[in-house]
Chains A and B, each alone.
Chain A
Amino acid sequence: MITNIILAGVGGQGILTIAAVLDTAALANNLFVKQAEVHGMSQRGGAVQSHVRISDKEIFSDLIPEGKADLILSVEPMESLRYLPFLKKDGWLITDSSPFINITDYPEQEALYQKINELPNSILANATDIAKKLGNAKAANIVLLGVASNLLSLSEHSIIEAITSLFSRKGQRVVDKNIEAFFKGKEIATEVAT
């Protein structure tokens, strides 16, 4: 079984933190991981993505083939749609609804949301707002991870452990806030699914 995940966002939005949580949790589950990321020029406020592949068998390609992603997890709504060519027909698209507008031709938000809602399996979550309410706007990415948690084929325990170890050098408060963010996200997923 292989799980293919595309992480999407804008340079500096912290998608590599999500990737690091996924990698760490997958290793704790004794699974194989490959994770391709973008460095360099595109990082400067441009579109960035990371391909994360988790499997119980050896993984060859660092890149996910077209139409083979089980999940697009995006911290920005327009960026979530940029990677549609990778999404499986029955794959899930989960994205933060807060736009990051640093270009002049950013589309109408309502039209964007409509496009996302037209997809067979999609969740628009206002992760940024939820994270702000928790007192840590930076944790929006972990809220989204919580929303996606049922689709990851990783145990909840291993994800919590990964969050704990990755944020531990920033202190217990940050760890707790992120764990809280994860569970808030998880709640949304249940609400939307039912």
Chain B
Amino acid sequence: MKKLFLGNEALAQGAIDSGISGVYAYPGTPSTEITEYIQKSDIAKELGIHSQWSVNEKTAMEAALGMSYAGKKSMVVMKHVGLNVASDVFMNMSVSGINGGLVVVVADDPSMHSSQNEQDSRFYGKFAMVPILEPTNQQEAYDITRYAFSLSERFKLPVLLRLVTRLSHSRAVVETFERIPQNNLKFPESPTQFQLIPMRARGLYQDLLDNQKNIQESATNSPFNKVTEGTDTKLGIVASGIAYNYVMENYQDSTCPHTIFKVSEYPLPKKQIKHLLDTCEQVIVFEDGYPFIEEMIGGFFNEDQKVIGRLTGHVNRTGELNPDIVGRALGFDIPTAQEVPDIVSGRPPELCTGCGHIDLFESINTLIPSIGDRRVFGDIGCSALGVLPPFNTIDTLIEMGASVTMAKGATDAGVENAIAIIGDSTFTHSGMTGLLDAIYEKTALTVIISDNSAIAMTGAQDSAALGKIKQICLGLGIEEAHLKVIIPLQKNHNSNVETIQKELDYKGVSVIISQRPCVQIPAEKKAQIRAFLKNCQN
């Protein structure tokens, strides 16, 4: 069957057709549509494939490992920074190995379109010593996903499948093939495989090291790694993943005179790299993300600039690649484009009209002159837009959950009137543990949970926090007298300001739940949410 697919959808269909029994994920741009595709798929429903969102990437990956332990194939999906959250289980499951095939899909975001950094997940794959796959186009996103599951079961290792934003969010026609059935329940052959106590872990780690020659051999012979010989030996080209397309775009109307090594499977195969270094005077590396390959093959000094790329300044050090950057680095005479006229103003993202975060920010801004500025700690999600004008309410934004804990640390250091603002889903993702730290020490801190009953920024997905936040806070030890619920509406402005001021005056931990459903939630669902929340309160 041939159909138009987003890169993310092609991958998701590939996973269904590989016989997965479950996908585990937390939403995050640019990875979200992978899980959503499986959630909406009729065939996935029919086959009973698990696709419910997890509370965070760590719980997702652990659940995927549990499914693999039980012998079934599972996939876990996240954006690049999500792998930081899941890195504990990621690093350790490469030591235990897997039972049913397990593929870790990570979508990187070079140029930081919707992210706070542009970290390159291939480093994690190398760190964990597992195979890494990097599709070039939508068809490969499908094919490589199927291949990834077979590789995972062959080597009994998790496999890292890396996407980048432009492949995740670009459509092309993809041909799909016959579906492979799901696995049956089957415990691991060795009863000790998943017991990482030191005496067992040492042996398993040695197995992982011994396995390296096998995964190197697989990458050397991979159907997705391809050398195309050229005649001009002045320059050789290494192009990984989507970068290969940008190279080929420049040779659309001609034949590339240089030898090109297209890389889509790692560990980086030594044989082809040696061939390039032996036969070409210089080798240029194109890779979307960090200079991962370039650093490996250029060596520590690279004084003769035998290997060039992002590190040597021949390619931009930061940001995603595109056909023009690659073309210029290859020496094509690409004229400078006409400029964007001065008349064009910037149009940054903004909160939707009627968004509850707006009213909350306005209440806090009313207090800032009296409580002092530079003490509002923010978090990931739509509420992060509070750092921008016209609000300028939020002073810090680092990663999921950091609002609560940074506000605590600043308070420990002597900052008064610290406020943490965190969304409902971010709170259950990574805020709860930090709140317990503050409660344990009775830190004078006010935490505002801006609860819009959704994972709003990524498209208003269901939040596991729905209707549970109050009970969670009470369970963690927040005093009932200092757990307040406010409705962020213009008409409540004065009373909301008063509530926040009162809790700032309290020298212990307060939680204020600022509660109003996201305006992006369809009316019908919003009514259900309101009814559900009312029910929870009774």
Contacts from A to B (Cβ < 8 Å):
10-11, 23-24, 27, 32-47, 51, 59-63, 65-67, 78-79, 81-82, 84-87, 102-103, 105-107, 111-112, 115
Contacts and interface: CB of A to CB of B under 8 A. Distances in A.
B508 interface: no
Contacts of A61: 245-246, 248-249, 322-323
A181 to B, nearest CB: 24
B43 interface: no
Interface stretch (B179-187, B289-297, B333-341): B333-341
B114 to A, nearest CB: 3
A11 B351 CA distance: 11
Interface residues of B, number: 45
Max chain B Cβ within 10 angstroms of own Cβ: one of A62, A63, A79:
A62
Nearest to A24: B4
Nearest to A37: B169
A189 B335 CA distance: 31
Nearest to B246: A61
Interface in B378-418: 382, 385
Nearest to B335: A67
Given A40-B30, A67-B335, A81-B341, A60 B347 contact: no
Given A46-B349, A61-B323, A40 B113 contact: yes
Contact of A65 (B170, B322, B341, B457): B322
Interface of B: 4, 29-30, 32-33, 113-114, 166-167, 169-173, 242, 245-246, 248-249, 252, 322-324, 327, 334-335, 337-341, 343-352, 382, 385, 457-458
A102 B340 CA distance: 20
B345 A103 contact: yes
Contact of A39 (B30, B252, B344): B30
A150 B65 CA distance: 54
A69 B243 CA distance: 20
The 5 lowest CB-CB distance pairs between A and B, nearest first, are A40-B29, A40-B114, A46-B349, A85-B337, A66-B337
Nearest to A43: B349
B171 A35 contact: yes
A60 B323 CA distance: 10
Contacts of A60: 245-246, 248-249, 252
A44 B340 contact: no
Contacts of B337: 66-67, 84-86
B322 A63 contact: yes
Contact of A45 (B114, B334, B350): B350
A66 B324 contact: yes
A145 B324 CA distance: 28
A89 B7 CA distance: 32
Nearest to B350: A45
B426 to A, nearest CB: 15
A44 B114 CA distance: 11
Contact of B347 (A24, A40, A46, A111): A46
B245 to A, nearest CB: 4
Contact of B345 (A24, A39, A106): A106
Contacts of A115: 341, 343
A27 B249 CA distance: 21
A65 B343 contact: no
A42 B343 contact: no
A88 B350 CA distance: 31
28 contacts: A10-B347, A27-B173, A33-B4, A33-B172, A35-B170, A37-B170, A37-B171, A39-B32, A40-B113, A40-B458, A44-B349, A44-B352, A46-B350, A60-B245, A60-B249, A62-B170, A63-B323, A65-B249, A65-B322, A67-B334, A78-B345, A81-B341, A81-B344, A86-B337, A87-B338, A102-B350, A111-B343, A115-B341
